[in-house]
């Protein structure tokens, strides 16, 4: 496993963890997490793929300039920069979870020719309702006024299935609590302002897997299956006994689903 720090297009440090060799597979983490959510994928999938796990601005070891704000599209350009730096012109299988999925939609809209396959995990193409936007602003304010641990308190209950093992919960909490308040603010602001893709699903021509957890409260299987059906070459799958974070909660099932799809749609 290697950790690289690239100097990003805007002068920020972009941290990337990579492992293995073979076709490029880029995994983009959710909020408020970092590359550690892909530990089991880095360990197992690297036997077949060159696994590339970028850390989004302000998360993990990627930096966020003081007071800097960004849009989801800027993060998509960061992925393009990482992809070009590490995989050159090779097509990329891109998998984004939740916020990472919002970035993956943007990446598809900007660079469809770069993608061999697309995996949209526990994510949504639609925009937030007003109440959800207000919740994002409240979390951002709380992060600044009371610190990250207070701002993310209880979030693990939304992300994980109720019966998740203690070590999974501890690992998730550790990642969430280590994020700087400014990174929470910047990410929540970017998610409030993100573009919706519901109207563009039928334009996605790349083979796509829409994957969710059966107990995912934030991207439940019912609606996920419905929007997956609008993507011409999409397959839908939901994984048992997990919530929003299937790569951590059910790594073997997640990896199996991913490999089956990647092999079957090449």
* Interacting residues with ligand MLT (CB under 6 A): 30-31, 98-99, 191, 218, 244
Nearest distance, CB of residue 182 and ligand MLT, angstroms: 17
Q: Tokens for 162?
A: 């109720």
d(CA 35, CA 7): 18
Nearest distance, CB of residue 195 and ligand MLT, angstroms: 14
Nearest distance, CB of residue 113 and ligand MLT, angstroms: 26
Q: Which is nearer to ligand MLT, 1 or 134 (CB)?
A: 134
Nearest distance, CB of residue 168 and ligand MLT, angstroms: 15
Q: Which is nearer to ligand MLT, 20 or 213 (CB)?
A: 213
Q: Which is nearer to ligand MLT, 31 or 236 (CB)?
A: 31
Nearest distance, CB of residue 253 and ligand MLT, angstroms: 19
Q: Which is nearer to ligand MLT, 98 or 164 (CB)?
A: 98
| φ and ψ at residue 248, rounded to 5 degrees | -95, -40
Q: Which is nearer to ligand MLT, 33 or 92 (CB)?
A: 33
Give the chain's end-to-end CA distance (angstroms, integer).
Answer: 26
Q: Which is nearer to ligand MLT, 20 or 172 (CB)?
A: 172
Nearest distance, CB of residue 45 and ligand MLT, angstroms: 20
d(CA 124, CA 105): 9
Nearest distance, CB of residue 244 and ligand MLT, angstroms: 6
Q: Which is nearer to ligand MLT, 4 or 180 (CB)?
A: 180
């Amino acid at each position: 496993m290697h950790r690289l720090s690239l100097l990003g297009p805007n002068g920020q440090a972009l941290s990337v963890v990579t492992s293995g060799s073979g076709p490029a597979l880029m995994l983009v983490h959710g909020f408020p997490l970092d590359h550690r959510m892909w530990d089991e994928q880095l360990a197992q999938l690297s036997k077949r793929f060159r696994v590339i796990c970028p850390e989004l601005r302000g998360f993990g070891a990627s930096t966020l300039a003081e007071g800097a704000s960004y849009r989801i599209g800027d993060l998509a350009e960061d992925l393009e920069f990482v992809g070009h730096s590490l995989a050159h012109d090779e097509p990329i299988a891109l998998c984004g979870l939740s916020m990472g999925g919002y970035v993956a939609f943007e990446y598809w809209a900007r660079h469809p020719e770069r993608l061999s396959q697309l995996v949209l995990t526990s994510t949504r193409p639609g925009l937030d309702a007003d109440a959800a936007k207000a919740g994002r602003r409240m979390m951002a304010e709380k992060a600044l006024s009371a610190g990250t641990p207070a701002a993310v308190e209880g979030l693990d209950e939304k992300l994980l299935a109720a019966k998740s093992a203690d070590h999974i919960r501890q690992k998730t909490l550790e990642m969430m609590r280590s994020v700087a308040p400014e990174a929470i603010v910047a990410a929540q602001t970017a998610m409030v302002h993100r573009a919706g893709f519901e109207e563009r699903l039928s334009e996605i021509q790349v083979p796509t897997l829409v994957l969710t957890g059966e107990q995912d409260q934030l991207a439940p299987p019912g609606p996920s299956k419905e929007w997956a059906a609008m993507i011409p070459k999409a397959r839908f799958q939901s994984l048992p006994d997990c919530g929003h974070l299937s790569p951590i909660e059910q790594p073997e099932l997640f990896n199996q689903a991913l490999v089956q799809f990647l092999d079957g749609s090449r």
